[in-house]
Structure 1
C-alpha cells in the first residue's frame, strides 16, 4: 500500500474516480452565416457569383461545469451547407396540380411534396450536419495541413461561391483565409 501512495503522490494521482454524466462537446467555432439571400429580390446575375467576408475567433468550449486548461486544437477545415425558408403564401389546393415529374431521374409526384398545414408558417429545408438527412449534401473543405489554434485566435477571410460552368447544379468554392500570421487559399466544388 505504501508503494501505491508514493506512486500516486509522485504522479499527482488520486484514489478518487470522477465520473462525468451527460454529453461533453468541444467546438472550435459556432456556426457562422456566410451570406443571407432574399429569394424575393435576388436576381439570377447576383446568384452566379456570391462573395462574403468572414471574421471570427476560435472558441473552444465544454458543455460541462468544470474548468479546462485548453491547449492548441487543430482546425482541419470548414463545412458548408445551406438553409432555405419559404415564407410566401401557401399553394391553395385548387391551384395545386398533382403531376408526375422527374428530378435527377427520380420520379416525383404531387403527393410527395410537403404541404404546410398553417399558411403563416414558414416551410424550411435545413441541410446542416445535425439536421435530418436530405438529398442535399454538406461540403467539407479539408486543409492540406491542419492549423493549430489557440483560444480566441482570429480567423478571417472570404469565400466565393460561383456556379460551375461544367454542371449548373454544382457550386465552385474559393476560400481565402488567414490565421496566426499565415495566409491560405483552398478551392473545392459543392455537389
Structure 2
C-alpha cells in the first residue's frame, strides 16, 4: 500500500509532534507522575548506527539508504517519545538480503505496538512488524511507513493509528497504569 501525503499534511504532522513535545515537557512533576499520554513515538537510526534516536521533527524528513525507521506505541508522562522500539535498529539484519539499486533506497522499518499495560481498553497489542522497504530516492519517513501499513492521522497531521491500532483515539491523556508506577 502506498499512502503518500501532501506537503501540507506532512508539515502538519511535524508541527503536531513538536506541539505534543512542548506540552509534555511543560507538565509539573506532580501531574506528570499521575497522568501521561499514549501515542505513536517516532525514532530513527542513521546509516551505520545501532541505536535509536527520538525523531523530534516528525516523519516528513528525508532519510538515507541504510537508515532504519522505528515506531513505538508508547506511554509517556515526561518526555517525547520515551520508549524506543525494543527491536535493535540493525540495517544488516533487516535489509541485509535486499540488493541495492541506484534508482531506489532501502530503509529498515520497525513498528512495535507497545504494551498491554497501556493499550486502549478492549484492543489487543499487535505483533511487531519488521520489514525492509525499497522506495523511491525522494521518499520521506511517512512514505516508507505508508508503503507497509495503513496510517491514520488527525487533521493536525498527528499520527493517530497504525494498522488500525488504536482504533479510534489519538494521543490521549490517561492515568498512569499501576504497573508503570515507580514503587
TM over 0.5: no
**Which structure has the larger Rg over C-alpha atoms?**
1
TM range (shorter): under 0.3
Tell me: higher relative CO, structure 1 or 2? Use CA pairs within 8 A at least 6 residues apart: 2
More helix by share: 2
TM-score norm. by structure 1 comes to 0.24
